[in-house]
Homo-oligomer: A and B are copies of this chain.
Amino acid sequence: MATVAELLQPVEADLDALLADLRSLIGAGHPILQAAAEHLFAAGGKRLRPGIVLLISRAISPAGELESRHRRLAEITEMIHTASLVHDDVVDEASTRRGVDTVHSRFNHRVAVLAGDFLFAQASWHLANLNDLEVVKLLSRVIMDLADGEVKQGLFRYDTGQNFETYLEKSYCKTASLIANSARAAGVLTGLNPAQLDSLYRFGRQLGLAFQVVDDILDFTGSDQQLGKPAASDLASGYLTAPALYALEERPALAGLIEREFSQDGDLEQALDLVRSSQAITRSRALAQGFADEARDALSWLPPSPSRSALLALPEFVISRLY
């Protein structure tokens, strides 16, 4: 199986340039933000989101060339994503993300709020200056979905009555909307037809959902070290994801443990045993696989190119994190 670096190889140089741009854009003349920018846009991150925008932009370009507006779109995508992570970490009081200190724990929550606002503001400014109202609408929808997802996530904590639809909606808002709408926006900038735009959106949506479900499974099956955070931390915090929701159907005893917020000794361990001994992980894997297959199928119409090959391999790469 390819690594993510191998998959992003067709746009590796583009991504390096993008990260350098972002570091200088955010840090320029603002010592307070400089350190936060270095921290946020350090080299070596995988940058899947701008990578996808860049791969799509190259794959749909008649000459395989990248236009400056597509580069800018990829940058905006990463700014919005990073701004939302920085603020979410304040709201969720997370102290690490994938094993790295969050901005508000490394600096403080004032710098985190400021850095996030500055990134959102830069994103909205550059977005307007792409001079395409349709693209502005797509990305402002993303910003709304991200805020909405964060609110929804808080609303349904420890709520065993929530249905699967709610979970998918929250996953769409928090993860898939950005990938789906930025993929579509890349197509809008190239002037693709409506059916092609729909397929780019569908690719991003299904890939984003697969990505989120895989993340949610890993929370149950990964070790603390693999995850860069304590295992089962979603469940412990009351965030009910695919495995927990499937397990609730099979193991009614789980509901009681969740509803009393794991307040008694051994509750969380017992809940984990219930999830792991059920069909929940198997069913969640099938769900993720379905989304991944749909994502891949959505792009079969692309003309052959290294970028197309990378895009078609991405969904299976996302799934491979499970094995």
**Which residues on A are within 8 Å of B, measured CB to CB?**
30-33, 87, 90-91, 93, 109-110, 113-114, 116-118, 120-122, 124-125, 127-129, 131, 133, 136-137, 140-141, 143-144, 146-148, 150-151, 154-155
Q: In the complex the two chains form, what is the Cα distance from A136 to B151 in whole Å?
A: 26
Of the candidates B30, B91, B114, B141, the one whose C-beta lies within 8 Å of that of A125 is B141
A/B interface sample: 29 pairs, CB < 8 A: A30-B155, A31-B155, A32-B155, A87-B113, A87-B117, A90-B109, A90-B110, A93-B110, A109-B109, A109-B113, A113-B113, A114-B147, A117-B120, A117-B146, A118-B147, A120-B120, A120-B143, A121-B140, A121-B143, A121-B147, A121-B148, A122-B147, A124-B140, A124-B144, A125-B144, A127-B140, A128-B140, A131-B133, A136-B136
Give A37 Cβ to nearest chain B Cβ, in Å. Answer: 12
Distance of A136 Cα from B126 Cα, bound (Å): 11
Determine how close the nearest CB of chain B comes to the CB of A81; give it in whole angstroms.
Answer: 14
On chain B, the residues within 8 Å of A90 by CB distance are 109-110, 113
Q: Which residues of B contact A122 (CB under 8 A)?
A: 144, 147
CA distance A113 to B116 in the complex (A): 10
Given A113-B90, A113-B113, A133-B136, A32 and B154 touching (CB < 8 A)? Answer: yes
Distance of A143 Cα from B127 Cα, bound (Å) = 12
Q: In the complex, how many angstroms separate the beta carbon of A317 from the nearest chain B beta carbon?
A: 31
Copies of this protein in the assembly total: 2
- Per the bound structure, the CA–CA distance linking A150 and B118 in Å amounts to 9
CB closest chain-B residue, reference A121: B147
**Distance (whole angstroms) from the CB of A30 to the closest CB of chain B:** 5
Complex: chain B residue closest to A130, CB-CB: B133
Q: Which residues of chain B come closer than 8 Å to A133, judged between CB atoms?
A: 128, 131, 133, 136
Given contacts A33-B151, A121-B143, A143-B120, whether A114 and B128 have CB atoms under 8 Å apart is: no
Within the complex, the shortest CB–CB distance from A300 to chain B, in Å, comes to 32
Which residues of B sit under 8 angstroms from A127, Cβ to Cβ?
Answer: 140
Asked if A91 and B114 sit within 8 Å, CB to CB, the answer is yes
How close is A79's CB to chain B, nearest CB, in angstroms?
Answer: 12
Question: Which of A90, A113, A144 has the largest number of chain B CB atoms within 10 A?
Answer: A113
- A121 in contact with B146 (CB, 8 Å): yes
Query: Shortest distance in angstroms between A129's beta carbon and chain B's nearest beta carbon?
Result: 7
* Residues of chain B lying within 8 A (CB to CB) of residue A137: 128-129
A109 to B110, CA, bound (A): 9
User: What is the chain B residue whose CB lies nearest that of A134?
Assistant: B128
